[in-house]
Amino acid sequence: MGAPARRPCGPVLWLRRWPIAIAFLIVTLAHAAQCPACTVPVFRYGLDNWQADAYRIELPAAAMQDGKLADFFRNLGTALPVNLEAKPGTGTEARLLFPHPEEAKSPVVWTGTLTPTSLAALTDSPARKEIARRILAGESVVWVLAESGNQAEDDAIAARVEKRLRYLEQVAILPRIDPNDPTSKLGPGPALRVKFSRLRVPRAGDESILLKMLAGPKPAAELATGPWLAAVFGRGRVLGAWPAADFGDAELEEASLFLLGACSCQVKRQNPGWDLLMNVNWPEELQAAAEKASSPPSGIAKPPAAVPKNNPTNEAQTITIASTAALEATSSAPDSTTPMWLGAVVCAIVGLFLFARRG
């Protein structure tokens, strides 16, 4: 058998997409004037400010006859923190749909009989709890590896990703945050640092709903077979999902640097990605994380603010690699007069890269 056909890349890929690429760049530059300067990293700005978009569940009339389901939907939007909204359905089965501004175009995540058990699986899962736990503990990005079931292949990719993430942690530096800049104030939450982790999720298991959400509303065909990677940050925001075979060290670095870099545009809709459905009270949990971060363990003195430059554990360091000239500029003290278009160009370039990887 011959070698499998590969997707066009490099100049061929870009030439095929240059009209879309140029349009993306023009729109980004046009909005730059509306986006004030901000030196908070993208991953932290999203955690502080970006509310997760609500998924929509369409309910058959019979679902509300179940007392437990009726109680759940009665409290939805008030006592329950899950980013979900309910609307009457027309069929006999319930449907869970991705967030979309136009309801008619919302892709379907799940269709089936709604029971208290199936509802619990839709709104939460062990892997989603673990993602939230890691983010609230101060991790910048959780890289999820959706396994293929081929253990040798999955293990090799997991080892490669782990090695690169450990390297990035040691060499990256976060942009310096100006304490006098009102647009760069951190909200309550864990201590700011760079920390990546990898989470393996089996394709054959109880996380099928999560995997569909991670793959996104318009999943690439390559995600249906081999292993793939997704980057999760903020309040369950997915930056993108990519076939692992084509997503090497350079791609891991580019995506990670985008999330570590200064948030050049604070408008969520102008940044790539989509949200997961999660049952997390983010304001409450972030406040608890802030209190934990400011309170040393009983009987142990709080460590000094200064951290050794070469801390092998990287526990208190803050970071960002500058692999491009534009990103290198963020390692110096930010200047409130820095042109807005520079950040917009960086955002556009990375957005175009991510768009190309998904296509």
Helices (H), the chain: 10-32, 42-49, 67-75, 116-123, 126-136, 151-171, 208-215, 249-260, 282-294, 325-328, 340-358
For 145-161, what is the mean pLDDT? 96
On whether the CB atoms of residues 205 and 151 are closer than 8 A, the answer is: no
pLDDT, tens digit, for every residue of 297-355?
Answer: 655 555 554 443 433 333 333 322 333 322 222 233 333 333 334 444 445 554 554 54
Span 51-76, pLDDT tens digits: 999 999 999 988 889 999 999 999 99
Specify the pairing of strand 196-201 against strand 141-146: parallel
Write down the pLDDT at residue 322. 36
Burial 64-102 (b: 16+ CB within 10 A, else e): eeeeebeebbeebeeebbbbbebeebeeeebbbbbbeee
Specify which residues 36 forms β-bridges with: none
Is the pLDDT at 230 greater than 70, yes or no?
Answer: yes
Are 262 and 330 a contacting pair, CB within 8 Å? Answer: yes
With cut-offs at 50, 70 and 90, classify the pLDDT of residue 122: very high
**Banded pLDDT at 295 (limits 50, 70, 90):** confident
CA 167, distance to chain mean position in Å, is: 20
> In this structure, are residues 223 and 241 in contact, taking their beta carbons and an 8 Å threshold?
yes
User: What residue spans define the domains of the chain?
Assistant: 20-50+127-292+312-358, 55-125
**What pLDDT does residue 356 have?**
52
* Structure confidence at residue 342 (pLDDT): 42
The yes-or-no verdict on residue 106 having pLDDT over 70 is yes
pLDDT at residue 287 in the model: 96
